[in-house]
Amino acid sequence: MNDVIIIGGGPAGSTLGSYLSKAGFKNTIFEATNHPRSHVGESMVMSSVRVFEEIGFLPVMEREGFIRKYGASWHPMTAKGEAAICFNEFPQAGITQDYTYHVDRSKLDLLMLKHAESLGTKVYQGVTVTRVLFDDNDYACGVRIRIADQEIDVPARLVVDASGRQTLLGRQLKVKKNDPIFDQFAVHAWFENVAKGNSPSANFIHVYFLPVQRGWAWQIPITEEITSMGIVAEREVFRQAHLEPADYFFKFINSNPDLAAAMQNARRINDFKLEGDYSYKMDTFAGNGFVMIGDAARFVDPIFSSGVSVALYSAKYSFERIQYAFETGDFSEAALKPYEHKLRAGTEIWYEFIRLYYKLLPLFTYFISSKQHRLEVLRLLQGEVFDRSEVPVLDEMRKYIRTVEASDNHVFKGQLSDIPID
């Protein structure tokens, strides 16, 4: 019998498999697709580096030559210029480099899956898990897999849902809740000949503010030649535009002067892709004999590239409780719940930060430029916070917003979005 079955071979599942195998636990990953697979989410935050190092994957990242990401830059809507931050302004304990990475996710995900396999994880690709099995005591006890036209039950001591945005167990248990506020929608593709300039920020992630509610664009270098470009706004903006994806995309490309300049000679090299359903959470993601990790537990709007970091840390923190469960023989919800409490605290900080960011949009650069708040913002952007008391800048953002809203004649009042912050 498997100690642990992991549903899904994305970054969350592969990272947990690596932790488990390094600790000597017998674990199996069932992945429905065959890698390499296309996936959006190509930029990492600094905290990811720590987990890569812990599972022995950092040498692979260096060997494969992924683009090094030293910081982030924001561009205003109506004038040329940028507000930038560098990660070396806020060194993190346990991380000896001042950069993280931009990645081709199809390449990264395959490498991480192969790394888990090299450590001892059994990996089966092209095998779909159709449901999680529960025993008479309401404990998860295995999974049902489909191979060709056959369904087979596979037992395990503990089941981990790392199925990503498929959210298999969340849907099965009916605990998935779509976010009532965020309904973002992205149109994106890869391009050659995107102008990156020669400044130190050439390989930063670039975010461009757009003249539409909650609108922004990303620029992420995938290789020295290829750049991922995406337009994000509320789904209703896309619907009301009544445009084909390409026309919609370039309408907003041309709405920001820096963005238009970067794309002046760009050539698209793959099809436009559409992404929606950006924010949701589960009522619970730890129960008797099971945990949910990564996007299968919680997905927060990707504005700050938090998705892979949440996936990696959910694997790290869930491993700690899984190890405890095997040491004590206690696989109950109570034994596993501390994992949920820890991860939920971190993702709720991300969520609050993102709501305040969308409320501020171009005014957010005030906090980037502020000597008083800059390091706290940088700490948030690096994914280093799981304790709300460590980031009083969130309260300062709220105070700033209320000051602007309370004044009928405030010069910035028209720049706040309509997103509620309470």
Q: Tell me the C-alpha distance between 176 and 158, whole Å.
A: 21
Domain membership flag for residue 92: no
Segment 260-264 shows an average pLDDT of 96
Instruction: Looking at the structure, tell me whether residues 271 and 301 fall in a common domain.
Output: no
Instruction: Looking at the structure, tell me whether residues 35 and 153 fall in a common domain.
Output: yes
Domain membership flag for residue 7: yes
Instruction: Looking at the structure, tell me whether residues 298 and 150 fall in a common domain.
Output: yes
Instruction: Looking at the structure, tell me whether residues 243 and 310 fall in a common domain.
Output: no
Q: Tell me the C-alpha distance between 20 and 244, whole Å.
A: 46
pLDDT attached to residue 313: 95
Segment 232-238 shows an average pLDDT of 91
Residue whose entry in the numeric block shows the structure tokens 């996710």: 105
Segment 291-310 shows an average pLDDT of 87
Instruction: Looking at the structure, tell me whether residues 220 and 293 fall in a common domain.
Output: no
Last residue of a domain, one of 255, 275, 295: 275
The chain-wide mean pLDDT, for the chain, equals 92
Instruction: Looking at the structure, tell me whether residues 158 and 304 fall in a common domain.
Output: yes
pLDDT attached to residue 277: 63
Segment 200-220 shows an average pLDDT of 90
Q: Are 190 and 226 in contact (CB under 8 A)?
A: yes
323-358 confidence digits (pLDDT tens): 999 999 999 999 999 999 999 999 999 889 989 998
Residue among 359, 373, 353, 339 at smallest CA distance from 412: 359
pLDDT of 169 > 90? The answer is yes
Instruction: Looking at the structure, tell me whether residues 250 and 231 fall in a common domain.
Output: yes
pLDDT attached to residue 45: 92
Instruction: Looking at the structure, tell me whether residues 264 and 305 fall in a common domain.
Output: no
Domain count, the chain: 2
Instruction: Looking at the structure, tell me whether residues 161 and 220 fall in a common domain.
Output: no
Domain membership flag for residue 75: no
Q: What is the CATH number of the domain that holds 160?
A: 3.50.50.60
Q: What is the CATH number of the domain that holds 233?
A: 3.30.9.100
Token output for 398: 């709220």
Domain membership flag for residue 72: no
- What is the pLDDT confidence band of residue 278, given thresholds at 50, 70 and 90? low
Last residue of a domain, one of 246, 275, 304: 275
DSSP code at position 214:
T
Domain membership flag for residue 99: no
List the domain range (segments joined by +) for residue 268: 184-275
**In the chain, pLDDT over 70 holds for what percent of residues?**
100
**Per-residue burial over 17-36, b = 16 or more CB atoms within 10 Å of its CB, e = otherwise:** bbbbbbeebbbbbbbbbebe
Q: Tell me the C-alpha distance between 314 and 296, whole Å.
A: 10
Q: Are 102 and 67 in contact (CB under 8 A)?
A: yes
Domain membership flag for residue 305: yes
Domain membership flag for residue 137: yes
DSSP code at position 304:
G
Instruction: Looking at the structure, tell me whether residues 158 and 226 fall in a common domain.
Output: no
Instruction: Looking at the structure, tell me whether residues 245 and 289 fall in a common domain.
Output: no
Give the pTM: 0.94
Helices (H) and strands (E) in the chain, counts: 13, 21
Instruction: Looking at the structure, tell me whether residues 312 and 170 fall in a common domain.
Output: yes
For residues 181 and 12, which has the higher predicted lDDT (pLDDT)?
12
**Per-residue burial over 186-210, b = 16 or more CB atoms within 10 Å of its CB, e = otherwise:** bbbbbbeebebeeeebebbbbbbbb
**In the chain, pLDDT over 90 holds for what percent of residues?**
70
373-408 confidence digits (pLDDT tens): 998 899 888 887 888 888 899 999 999 999 998 888
pLDDT attached to residue 290: 98
